[in-house]
Amino acid sequence: MPEAQVPASQGSIMDREGLQALLDVLTSRGFGVVGPRVRDEAVVYEPIRNVADLPEGWTDRQDGGRYRLERREDRALFGYAVGPHSWKQFLFPSRQRLWQARRTETGLEFLEEPSRDERWAFLGVRACELCAIAIQDRVFLGGVHRDRSYAERRQRVFVVAVQCAEPSGTCFCVSMQAGPKATCGFDLALTELLHAGSHRFLVEAGSRVGQEVLAAIPHRPANEDERRAAEKVTALAAARMGRTLETRGIRELLQSHPEHPRWEEVASRCLSCGNCTMVCPTCFCSTVEDHSDLSGKHTERMRLWDSCFTLGFSYLHGGSVRKEIRSRYRQWMTHKLSTWFDQFGSSGCVGCGRCITWCPVGIDITEEARAMRSSLPEETAHV
Amino acid sequence: MRDPDPFVPRLFRVEEARRENADTTTLGLVPSHGEIPSFLPGQFFMLYAFGVAEIPVSVSGLSGTGRLLHTIRAVGAGSRALCRLRPGDFLGARGPYGSAWPLDRAEGDDLLLIAGGLGAAPIRSALLRALAERERYGRVVFLYGARGPTELLFRPELEGWQRRPDLEVQVTVDHAPPSWRGSVGVVPERIGHARFSPAHTTAFVCGPEVMMRFTASALLAAGVSSERIFLSMERNMKCALALCGRCQFGPAFVCREGPIFRYDRIARLLFLREI
Ligand SMILES: Cc1cc2nc3c(=O)[nH]c(=O)nc-3n(C[C@H](O)[C@H](O)[C@H](O)COP(=O)(O)OP(=O)(O)OC[C@H]3O[C@@H](n4cnc5c(N)ncnc54)[C@H](O)[C@@H]3O)c2cc1C
Ligand code: SF4
Ligand code: SF4
Ligand code: FES
C-alpha cells in the first residue's frame, strides 16, 4: 500500500525490457504479480510472469450489454479499458473463510484465520480502479469495526497503475472525477508511449517503495517531449469518454424521488440477475454460510459476495422487504449515487462502466439518471 | 500484534433456559472467559448456534449482572437452534452493537414504553433500568400487546409490575378466551387510556413495523413530540459491523445508526414501501 506521498517525480523512461525487469523485480521481492491477460475472449486479471502474458495488440469495444475484443494496429500492451474483473476479487475475495468452530470435550472452540503472507502486486490498475480501491478502503477500514483480513491483504499490495489511453464506450470516469489520469494511490504509474515504431513507458513513482523498485530497473530521466506526450495520452482519453453522468444534485435527486415512475420502468427491463453488483469494483455486500462436516463436529464460517438484487438479501421472518425488482433496482442505484455519500462521504460509483457493459439487457446507470432528471422540473432536478 | 478479528464470536455457556411461551425462550448466558462487555438497553448481540446460523438478538436484561439475557422466538433455523439450547450448552456471542434507548435523555419526562409481541424483550431492559432508577422519571407507563394471553412474555414478572404503585401497566391481546379479564384490542388504542402528559413524554416503541407505524401516529395525535418518540427497527443482518451492507434502511445501517432511531429522523422512510 502506498505510504506517505513522495515528491512528484519528473518521470522516467523505460522500454519493454524495462517492463519485464519490473515484473522480475516484483517477483524477486516476493510479490505475486497479477495483471491483465486475455481469457475467454475478455481481458481479465490473473497471475502473470512475463510481458508476453499481457494482451498485446488487443483493444475492446464496449456498449450497453456488449463486450468484444478486437485487434489493434499496433503492439500496445494496455490498449483497452476495464474488463469484467476488478481488483476487488483479490482484496475482498468472492468466497472467504471467516473462522472455524469445533466441538471439543469441554464445549466449543472458535479458530481464527491465521495471517497469510500472500503479497500481491497489481499491474495495470486504472485511475477509476484506484478510486474504487480507495472507496473500499473507507468501507472496510474507515469505520469503527475494521475488516482485518482486508486490512492485512491491502497493506501489502504494490500498485502499478497504468494511465488510460483507450476509454471504452461505457466509460464515464470524467463525470465521476475518478479518471482517466491516476494522480495518487499508486506505487508506480506507467504511461504507455507508442510512437513511430518506438514503444516506451513513462514511469512515475508515487511512494518510497515505488522509488526503490524503480531504482532496481533500467530507466533514464524523461525529457520534456516525452513528458508532454504522456500528458497528451490522458488528455485525449478524457475527451473520448463513452458516456457522461450529470452529478450535480444527484444525491438529493435520488433520495427525494423514491416513488418516481422511472423505477417501475427500469424494473420492467431488469432481470434482477445481479451482474451489475458482481462486476462493480465498489459493491461490497456479502452473506455468510456455515459449512459443517459430516461428523457435525467441525464447521467453517464462509463469507460470500452477495447482491442487493437477490430476494434473500432483505429477508426477514415473514418475507423479504424488497419483493419487487423496482425496490431492488432503486436500492442499488440510490446506494451507488446517493446514500453512499451519507455512509462513506463519497459517491459509490467511479464511472468504470462495467455495470452497463455486463448487464445482459444493457441497462445504463447514466441513462437512468438522465431519464429521472429530465422528467423533473429544472428546480427539483437540480436541487 | 494483530488487530482483533471483529467477526469471531466469544464462547458463552447457557446457564439458564426459561420457556416463556410455546415458541419463545429466554437464555441466561455466561462467558467462558473474561467479563461481559457492558451494554445498554436497546442494544443487541449476534448469537451463533453451532453449525447453523448467527442472528441478531436484543438484550432483554441489564448490564452488570454477570450474565447476558436474551429472549428468542423460534421462527427459523437459527432462532430454533438457539431456543433448543439447554443449561450447560455452548454458543457464540459477540457484541454489543447498535444504538440504545436514550434513557438519559428522557430524564424528568414521563416514560411511555410500548411493546408489541416480541418487542417486549428489548423494552424489558429499558423498563428494568427505569425501575432501577425510578426517581429519574415522571410517570412510567408500560403498554404491552400480544396475540393472546398465553403468548405474553415474562408472565410472573408482569404480575409483579402490575402490582407496583409507581408503574402503570396495560396489557391488551388480539384474541382472548372468556376467562381473560384484561383488555382486548391493539396497542395504539391503549394510548388514549394511559395517564401521561404528552408535552413531557418520551416514548420507546418496539414491535412489528405496522404496529410501530400506527403507534407512532397515535402518539403524535396525542401530542407527543416526534423528537421524543423512538422506534427499534429490524432488517436482515449478517455482520452487525457495518461491513456486509444488508441492514441498509435508506442511508442508515440499522446495525450501526440503529436499531433504535428517533422517529422524526426516519418518519419519511417508515412510510415508504419496500425501502
Ligand atoms: C436488531 C435486532 C434485534 C432483534 N432482537 C430479537 C430478539 O430479541 N428476539 C428474537 O427472537 N428475535 C430478534 N430479532 C429477529 C431475529 O434476528 C430473527 O428472527 C432471526 O434472524 C431469524 O433467523 P432464523 O435463522 O431463526 O430464521 P430464518 O428466517 O430462517 O432466517 C435465517 C437467515 O437465513 C436467510 N434466509 C432464510 N430464509 C430465506 C429465504 N427464503 N431466502 C433467502 N434467505 C433466507 C436469511 O438471510 C436469514 O437471515 C432481532 C433482529 C434485529 C435486526
Ligand atoms: S456503478 Fe457501474 S459504473 Fe459505477 S463503479 Fe459500479 S460498475 Fe462502475
Ligand atoms: S441492472 Fe442489469 S445487470 Fe443489474 S441486476 Fe438488472 S439486469 Fe442484471
Ligand atoms: S448487518 Fe452487516 S452492515 Fe449492518
> pLDDT digit of tens for each residue in chain A (383 aa)?
555 455 556 899 999 999 999 999 999 999 999 999 999 999 999 999 999 999 999 999 999 999 999 999 999 999 999 999 999 999 999 999 999 999 998 889 999 999 888 899 999 999 999 999 999 999 999 999 999 999 999 999 999 999 999 999 999 999 999 999 999 999 999 999 998 889 999 999 999 999 999 999 999 999 999 999 999 999 999 999 999 999 999 999 999 999 999 999 999 999 999 999 999 999 999 999 999 998 889 999 999 999 999 999 999 988 999 999 999 999 999 999 999 999 999 999 999 999 999 999 999 999 999 999 998 876 555 54
Q: Are B51 and A147 a contacting pair at CB < 8 A?
A: no
Q: Does B267 touch chain A (CB under 8 A)?
A: no
What is the b/e burial string over A270-289, where b = at least 16 CB atoms within 10 angstroms of the residue's CB?
bebebbbbbbbbbbbbbbbe
Cell output for B42:
436497546
Residue B255 and residue B247 in contact, taking contact as beta carbons nearer than 8 Å: yes
**Rg of the Cα trace of chain A?**
22
Q: Does A155 touch chain B (CB under 8 A)?
A: no
Share of chain B above pLDDT 90, in %: 98
Q: What is the pLDDT of residue A383?
A: 47
Q: Does A292 touch chain B (CB under 8 A)?
A: yes
* 3 state DSSP class of A46: strand
Tell me which residues of chain A, numbers 305 to 324, contact chain B at a CB-CB cutoff of 8 Å: 306, 308, 313-317, 321-324
* 3 state DSSP class of A203: strand
Number of residues assigned to chain B? 275
Question: Annotated binding site of B, which residues?
Answer: 239, 244, 247, 255
Q: What's the B250 CA to ligand 4 centre distance in angstroms? A: 13
Q: What is the dihedral of CA B211, B216, B219, B224, to 10 degrees?
A: 150
Listed by start position, the domains of chain A span 12-95+116-239, 250-286+309-381
Crossing angle of helices A365-374/A325-334, nearest 10°? Answer: 100
Query: CB-based contacts of A225: which residues, under 8 Å, 6+ apart?
Result: none
A282 Cβ inside 6 Å of ligand 2: yes
For ligand 4, mutation pick of B97, B241, B249, B261 (most atoms within 8 Å of CB):
B241
* 3 state DSSP class of A355: helix
Distance from CA of A31 to the nearest CA of B (A): 21
Q: Are A315 and B236 a contacting pair at CB < 8 A?
A: yes
CA distance linking residue B159 with residue B146, whole number of Å: 15
Q: Are A103 and B50 a contacting pair at CB < 8 A?
A: yes
A83 Cβ inside 6 Å of ligand 2: no
Question: Annotated binding site of B for [2Fe-2S] cluster, which residues?
Answer: 239, 244, 247, 255
Kindly tell me if the per-residue pLDDT of B260 is higher than 90: yes
Residue B122 and residue B147 in contact, taking contact as beta carbons nearer than 8 Å: no
Judge if the upstream peptide bond of residue A180 is cis by omega within 30 degrees of 0. yes
State which residue of chain B sits closest to A282, comparing Cα positions.
B245
Q: What is the 3-state secondary structure (H, E, C) of chain B?
A: CCCCCCCCCEEEEEEEEEEEECCEEEEEEEECCCCCCCCCCCCEEEEEECCCEEEEEECCCCCCCCCEEEEEECCCHHHHHHHCCCCCCEEEEEEEECCCCCCCCCCCCEEEEEEEHHHHHHHHHHHHHHHHCHHHCCCEEEEEEECCHHHCCCHHHHHHHHHCCCCEEEEEECCCCCCCCCEECCHHHHHHHCCCCHHHEEEEEECCHHHHHHHHHHHHHCCCCHHHEEEECCCCCCCCCCCCCCCEECCEECCCCCCEEEHHHHHHHHCCCCC
The beta-carbon neighbor of B274 closest among A101, A323, A339 is A323
Q: Write the pLDDT tens digit of every residue in B25-60.
A: 999 999 999 999 999 999 999 999 999 999 999 999
Q: Are A146 and B3 a contacting pair at CB < 8 A?
A: yes
Torsion sign (Cα): B116, B120, B121, B124: positive
What is the mean predicted confidence (pLDDT) over B78-93?
98
State which residue of chain A sits closest to B240, comparing Cα positions.
A145
Tell me how far apart the 2 most distant CA atoms of chain A are, in Å. Answer: 75
Query: CB-based contacts of A273: which residues, under 8 Å, 6+ apart?
Result: A309, A360
Q: What is the pLDDT of residue A380?
A: 55
CA distance linking residue A110 with residue A106, whole number of Å: 13
pTM value is: 0.95
Q: Are B238 and A290 a contacting pair at CB < 8 A?
A: no
ipTM for the complex shown:
0.95
Report chain A residues whose CB lies below 8 A from the CB of B52.
Answer: 290
Cell output for A16:
519493454
CA distance linking residue B208 with residue B85, whole number of Å: 26
Q: Write the pLDDT tens digit of every residue in B180-227.
A: 988 999 999 999 999 999 999 999 999 999 999 999 999 999 999 999
Q: Write the pLDDT tens digit of every residue in B115-135.
A: 999 999 999 999 999 999 999
Residue B54 and residue B92 in contact, taking contact as beta carbons nearer than 8 Å: yes
* 3 state DSSP class of A95: strand
Query: CB-based contacts of A368: which residues, under 8 Å, 6+ apart?
Result: A262, A266, A333
CA distance linking residue B245 with residue B255, whole number of Å: 10
List the beta bridge partners of residue A292. A299
Position in ligand 1 atom list of the atom nearest CA A316: 29
Q: Which domains does chain B have, with CATH numbers?
A: 10-97 (2.40.30.10), 110-270 (3.40.50.80)
